[in-house]
Copies of this chain bind each other. A is one copy, B any other.
Amino acid sequence: MTSRFFRALAILAATVPALTAFADEGMWLINKLPSKELKQQYNFEPTATWTEHVQKSCVRIGAGGSGSFVSPDGLVMTNHHVASDAIQDLSSEQHDYMVDGFYAPTHEAELKCPHMELTVLQEIQEITDRVNAAVKSGMSAADAFAARKKAMSEIEKEARERSGLQPEVVTLYNGARYDLYLYKRYTDVRLVFAPEAGIAFFGGDLDNFEYPRFNLDVTFLRAYENDKPAKVEHYLKWSKAGPKEGELIFVAGHPGRTQRLFTVDHLRFLRDVQLPLTLSCYNQREIALNQFMGRSEEYGRIGKEDLLGIQNSRKAFGGIINGLLNPRLMNRKMEAEAALREFVQADPKRREKYAAGWDKLSKALAEVQSFYTEYFMLESRRTSLGRYHDLARKLIRAADEKRKPDGERLTEYRDANLPSLELDLFSEAPVYDALEQLRLEDGLIRLGRHLGGEHEAVVAAMGGMDAGSRAASLIGGTKLKDVAFRKKLYEGGTAAIAECNDPMIQFAQALNPMARALRDKYEKVFESVEKEAYAMIANAKFEKDGDRVYPDATFTLRLAVGTVAGYRDGSETIPAMTDMAGLYARAAQHKEREPYNLPKRWADGRNKLDLKMPFNFISTNDIIGGNSGSPMFNRDGEVTGLVFDGNLHGLIWDFQFDMEKARAVGVHSQAIIEALRKLYGAGKLADEITKG
């Protein structure tokens, strides 16, 4: 799921004008909105009530998506592709809800999603001073990093005890600010409605990041409390009119990660080291998955969710590299950096405080490069060896970490994060051994290809066998499929792990020390320096640009301000909205060959629909991966759309906002209602939403 939320820099047309429009730039903190600009440009002044209402209507989903409450009974709107992990998990060879869609006409028919978690932001506290107070003068970057981590853990612990809410210390401006966020958590989440993947993702990988589009990329979930639909005070009402071209429109959601503050050297590292390596692994997996899925219909079904995620990331990361390879774009970054450094050099005080930031970072980048491949292969979540190994490693590390004081643990094993960990560890979501074989076998081959056959980790991983046999013997022998077995190991701690003879646990045990050491080294050599350096650079930027500075995305709640607007591409004008007639035209143009084949309900239901009904539309809101599923709404807080993508031009937003051709892409609010009522027989759900 998570991989579908990254957006990247696109191949740009040959003529990019030098001017950058700042008008709609900004992923604004909900507690620090750009009031002056909003007033000047849109004559809009958000009240405290408006802001609180938006904040508490918005939902963060799992590890990478957004959503919103749209009824008082806990109904949540998000994207199909945000919920598709769950839809896939709820499917089986008998009921493939990915292919056929799903609708529960009653609460009783709603299906509980395995290990899905919703969180709603309740409260924000600034804690920069307290975090920084933990750092004593003369500390090394690594010691300062550890000291801050310890302080954050204490702050979280206190907050949890005080409020009963889920605490999270958020590092903003890459370390120049720290805030404490407190969330309400929902862990009983049920599936209410999902369309067929064929219409949610019509045009598939080929049309992904393209526009015009025709996707009903929507899913409705429901939050439950005490086995009953959650009663929520804050939810967004539905707009009767839908979005209008030229109209002010808001997006509130959880952009995952941007790199707008990144130095030129850091962007080079991305372009020349990190992303090529990532893509090389993803390409290998995409091809292996395609082979796997071709072997039978059932394999096609169980591999699909992995494939969608991989393809999405491949297109996005590929776009980022291509953008970074475009000399004109890098030149703009270089100019901006030179201007900021000149500003710093121009004043002795600023020079003393900030000048070292860039060089520190460049040095750390050079150092991390020497072991980055190993780190990436053995410790990144992007190079998982499959579900069983993930479980095994988490069980081993949980046992190790839980013995330490909270402040010294790896972040994901801090007390504040154990509920999420346990939700994952004990999930009943199905595990398909055939798919696990593919993931592990391909993962072993990936290790070998990138580290070389003689690398200590490869020798340990292969265990004297070829990759296929090794994977088969580990998967055939492990008992980790059994949730009770996992619970026993989790509760048994280090003693249970030490005496466990499960082959997957032993396999994970063999790799874990190397991976852990690389994690430590990475944090020491790079992450701690990165924090320190960017705090300097961000503070220099504050001094230079003042309030125009917003923090890079951190998968926390942000508000983006924009306009519903088409654009010109060369001699072509791309209109702001598509309509339902366009869907049928595009399918016909491709003779309905996959991925342009319409689900039966849509092919048969054409005459039931108002073909002039708008379907998808674009706007200038500043979004990025993680914003998928974000509500789009008007100044009255009424839903007019649902973000599901950015266009190819918008991929550059990862490190530079530009609104010449870059756009957010949304599903029109009325298209959702039209489809629910006329094709899905889901009038009851449409009523709940529109009467909400």
Footprint of B on A, CB under 8 Å?
A: 11-14, 205-206, 268, 271-272, 275-276, 279-280, 283-284, 286-287, 291, 294-297, 314, 318, 321-328, 330, 444-445, 448-450, 452-454, 458-459, 462, 464-469, 472-473, 590-591, 595
User: Contact check: which of B294, B327, B473 meets A462 at CB < 8 Å?
Assistant: B327
Q: Determine the distance from Cα of A321 to Cα of B11 in the docked complex, in whole angstroms.
A: 33
Looking across the interface, which residue of chain B has its beta carbon closest to that of A452? B272
In the bound complex, what is the Cα–Cα distance between A318 and B464 (angstroms)? 19
CB-based contact A287/B286 at 8 Å: yes
With both beta carbons as reference points, the residue of chain B lying nearest to A292 in the complex is identified as B206
Out of B11, B206, B287, name the residue touching A295 (CB < 8 Å): B206
Q: Are A271 and B453 in contact (CB under 8 A)?
A: yes
Q: Which of chain B's residues has its CB closest to A325's CB?
A: B448
18 A–B contacts from the bound complex (CB under 8 Å): A11-B466, A205-B291, A268-B453, A279-B449, A280-B280, A280-B283, A283-B286, A296-B590, A322-B448, A322-B466, A322-B468, A325-B448, A325-B458, A325-B462, A325-B466, A327-B462, A328-B464, A330-B453
Inter-chain contact A469/B13, CB cutoff 8 Å: yes
Instruction: Please name the residue on chain B nearest to A207 by beta carbon.
Output: B294
**Given A11-B466, A11-B467, A206-B295, A325–B453 Cβ distance below 8 Å?**
yes
Among candidates B12, B287, B591, residue contacting A287 with C-beta atoms closer than 8 Å: B287
Task: List, in ascending order, chain B residues with CB within 8 A of A291's CB.
Answer: 205-206
- Please indicate the chain B residues that have their CB under 8 angstroms from the CB of A326 in the complex: 462, 465-466
Given A327-B459, A328-B465, list of 12 further CB < 8 A pairs?
Answer: A13-B469, A14-B465, A205-B294, A283-B287, A322-B466, A322-B468, A325-B448, A325-B462, A326-B462, A327-B462, A328-B464, A330-B453
Report B-chain residues with C-beta under 8 Å of the C-beta of A469.
11-14
Q: Which residue of B lies closest to A267 (CB)?
A: B453
Q: Which residue of B lies closest to A328 (CB)?
A: B464
Whether the pair B283, A466 counts as a contact (CB closer than 8 A) is no
Nearest B-chain residue to A323, judged by Cβ: B466
Q: Are A321 and B448 in contact (CB under 8 A)?
A: yes
- Provide the bound-state CA to CA distance between A458 and B591, in Å: 40
Chain B: minimal CB distance from A532 (Å): 26
Give which listed residue, B12, B14, B296, contacts A473 with CB less than 8 A. B14
- List of B residues within 8 angstroms of A467 by Cβ: 11, 322, 325
- Residue contact B327 to A272, C-beta cutoff 8 Å: no
> CA A472 – CA B11 in complex, angstroms?
12
* In the complex, chain B residues whose CB is within 8 Å of the CB of A321: 445, 448-449
Determine which of B283, B295, B459, B591 lies in contact with A283 in the assembled complex, contact meaning CB atoms within 8 Å.
B283
**Nearest chain-B residue to A294 (Cβ)?**
B206
Q: What is the bound-complex CA distance between A466 and B330, given in angstroms?
A: 11
Which B residue's beta carbon lies closest to that of A283? Answer: B283
A205 cross-chain contacts in B, Cβ below 8 A:
291, 294
Residues of B within 8 A of A280 (CB): 280, 283
The residue in chain B whose Cβ has the minimal distance to the Cβ of A473 is B14
Residue of B nearest to A272 (CB): B452
Set of chain B residues within 8 Å of A287, measured between Cβ atoms: 283, 286-287, 314
**Given contacts A14-B469, A469-B13, A268 and B445 within 8 Å (CB-CB):** no
Nearest Cβ in chain B — how far from A209, in angstroms? 11
Cα of A459 to Cα of B326 in the assembled complex, Å: 10
Give bound CA distance, A291 to B204, whole Å: 11
Are A14 and B466 touching (Cβ within 8 A)?
yes
CA distance A272 to B447 in the complex (A): 11
Instruction: For the complex, give the distance between the alpha carbons of A134 and B297 in Å.
Output: 64
| Contact assessment for B324 and A453 in the assembled complex, using a CB-CB cutoff below 8 Å | yes
Greatest chain B CB density within 10 A among A206, A272, A325 is at: A325
Given A321-B448, A445-B321, A452-B271, A327 and B284 touching (CB < 8 A)?
no
CB distance from A299 to the nearest CB of B (A): 11
- Complex Cα distance A464/B326, Å? 7
A591 to B467, CA, bound (A): 31
Considering the chains assembled together, what is the distance between the CA atoms of A318 and B444 in angstroms?
13
Chain B residues positioned under 8 Å from A286 (CB to CB): 283, 287
Residues on the B chain within 8 Å of A272, using CB: 452-454
Q: Which residues of B contact A318 (CB under 8 A)?
A: 445
Distance of A160 Cα from B323 Cα, bound (Å): 53
Whole-angstrom distance between the alpha carbons of A444 and B321 in the complex? 12
A444 and B458 CA atoms in complex are apart in Å by 32
Q: Pick the 3 closest A-B CB pairs, nearest first.
A: A14-B469, A272-B452, A283-B283
Judge whether A284 and B279 touch: CB under 8 Å. yes
A327 nearest in chain B by CB position: B464
How close is A448's CB to chain B, nearest CB, in angstroms? Answer: 4
Docked CA distance A602–B323 (Å): 48
CA distance A284 to B272 in the complex (A): 16
A459: chain B residues within 8 A (beta carbon): 327
A284 and B317 CA atoms in complex are apart in Å by 12
Q: Is the CB of B328 within 8 A of A450?
A: no
Of the candidates B12, B454, B462, which one forms a contact with A268 in the assembled complex, judged by CB atoms under 8 Å apart?
B454
Bound state CA distance, A448 and B327, in angstroms? Answer: 12
A296 to B590, CA, bound (A): 7
Q: Which residues of B contact A454 (CB under 8 A)?
A: 268, 272
Q: How far is the CB of A429 from chain B (nearest CB, A)?
A: 28
Q: How far is the CB of A549 from chain B (nearest CB, A)?
A: 27
Instruction: Select the residue from A271, A297, A322, A454 with max chain B CB neighbours within 10 A.
Output: A322
Provide the residues of chain B in CB contact with A328, threshold 8 Å. 464-466
Tell me the complex Cα distance, A297–B590, Å: 8
Residues of B near A276 (CB, < 8 A) are 449-450
Query: In the docked arrangement, what's the CA distance between A353 and B166, Å?
Result: 75
A465 to B462, CA, bound (A): 44
CA distance A631 to B234 in the complex (A): 77
Please indicate the chain B residues that have their CB under 8 angstroms from the CB of A473 in the complex: 14
**With A and B bound together, what is the CA distance between A280 and B276 in angstroms?**
10
Which residue of chain B is the closest to A469 with respect to CB atoms?
A: B14
User: Chain B residues near A466 (CB, 8 Å)?
Assistant: 11-12, 14, 322-323, 325-326, 328
Residue of B nearest to A206 (CB): B294
CA distance A444 to B271 in the complex (A): 14
- CB A292 to nearest CB in B, in angstroms, measures 10
